[in-house]
Chain A
Amino acid sequence: MSDITRLTAADLAARLAAGELSSVEATRAHLERIAAVDGDVHAFLHVSDHALDVAADIDRRRAAGEQLGALAGVPLAIKDVLVTTDMPSTSGSKILEGFISPYDATVVARSRAAGLVPLGKTNMDEFAMGSSTEYSAYGPTHNPWDLERIPGGSGGGSAAAVAAFEAPLALGSDTGGSIRQPAHVTGTVGMKPTYGAVSRYGAIALASSLDQVGPVSRTVLDSALLHDVIGGHDPNDATSLEDPWPSFAAAAREGATGEVLKGLKVGVIRELPDTGFQPGVAASFRASLALLEAHGAEIVEISAPHFEYGVAAYYLILPAEASSNLAKFDSVRFGLRVDVPGGTVEDVMARSREVGFGDEVKRRIILGTYALSAGYYDAYYGSAQKVRTLIQRDFDDAFAQVDVIATPSAPTTAFRLGEKVDDPIQMYLNDVTTIPVNLAGVPGISIPSGLAEEDGLPVGIQFVAPARHDARLYRVGAALEALLVDEWGGPLLDRAPRLGGNL
Chain B
Amino acid sequence: MLARIALRDDEVERLTGQLSAIVDNIAKVSEVATPDVPATSHPIPLENVFRPDVVGQMLTVEQVLQNAPDATDDRFKVTAILGEEQ
Contact = CB atoms under 8 A, between A and B. Distances in A.
Q: Do A and B bind each other?
A: yes
Task: Report, as a range, how many residues of chain B touch the other chain.
Answer: 35 or more
A238 B66 contact: no
| Interface secondary structure of B, over-half rule | loop
B83 to A, nearest CB: 5
Contact of A386 (B8, B32, B78): B32
A370 B40 CA distance: 20
B40 A385 contact: yes
A149 interface: no
A398 to B, nearest CB: 16
A124 B74 CA distance: 34
A363 B5 CA distance: 10
A351 B69 CA distance: 14
Given A333-B67, A348-B79, A353-B6, A312 B28 contact: yes
Interface string A440-451: 111000000000
A269 B6 CA distance: 44
Contacts of A382: 33, 39
A366 interface: yes
A349 B4 contact: yes
B44 A335 contact: no
Contact of B15 (A336, A343, A363): A363
Contacts of A11: none
Contacts of A390: 32, 37
Nearest to B25: A425
Contacts of B22: 315, 363, 367, 424-425, 428
Contacts, number: 178
B82 to A, nearest CB: 6
A219 interface: no
Given A102-B59, A345-B78, A369-B3, A239 B33 contact: no
A335 B15 contact: no
A100 B64 CA distance: 11
A334 B78 CA distance: 12
Contacts of B37: 386, 389-390
| Interface secondary structure of A, over-half rule | helix
Contact of B64 (A102, A386, A467): A102
A387 B26 CA distance: 12
Contacts of A257: none
A344 B29 contact: no
Interface stretch (A58-66, A354-362, A453-461): A354-362
Interface string A380-411: 10111111111010000000000000000000
Which of B5, B6, B25, B28 is most buried by chain A, counting CB atoms within 10 A of its CB?
A: B5
A334 to B, nearest CB: 4
Interface string A135-159: 0000000000000000000000000
Given A100-B67, A348-B79, A382-B33, A392 B21 contact: no
Interface residues of A, number: 74
Given A102-B63, A380-B29, A350 B5 contact: yes
Contact of B3 (A313, A366, A392, A438): A366
Interface in B1-57: 1-8, 11, 14-15, 18-19, 21-23, 25-34, 37-44, 46, 49, 51
Interface string B67-86: 11110000010111111000
A415 interface: no
Given A359-B15, A366-B5, A382-B39, A332 B44 contact: no
A18 interface: no
A344 B81 CA distance: 5
B57 to A, nearest CB: 8
A239 B40 contact: no
A390 B14 CA distance: 34
Contact of A389 (B5, B38, B64, B83): B38
Interface in A184-208: 194-196
Contacts of B3: 323, 353, 362, 365-366, 368-369
A380 B11 CA distance: 24
Contact of A306 (B18, B32, B82): B32
13 contacts: A235-B51, A239-B49, A241-B44, A306-B32, A333-B64, A348-B79, A350-B4, A353-B6, A363-B15, A369-B3, A379-B30, A386-B39, A440-B43
Interface of B: 1-8, 11, 14-15, 18-19, 21-23, 25-34, 37-44, 46, 49, 51, 59, 63-64, 66-70, 76, 78-83
Interface of A: 99-100, 102-103, 194-196, 209-210, 235, 238-239, 241, 306, 309, 311-313, 315-316, 323, 327, 330-337, 340, 343-351, 353-354, 357, 359, 362-363, 365-370, 373, 379-380, 382-390, 392, 424-425, 428, 438-442, 467
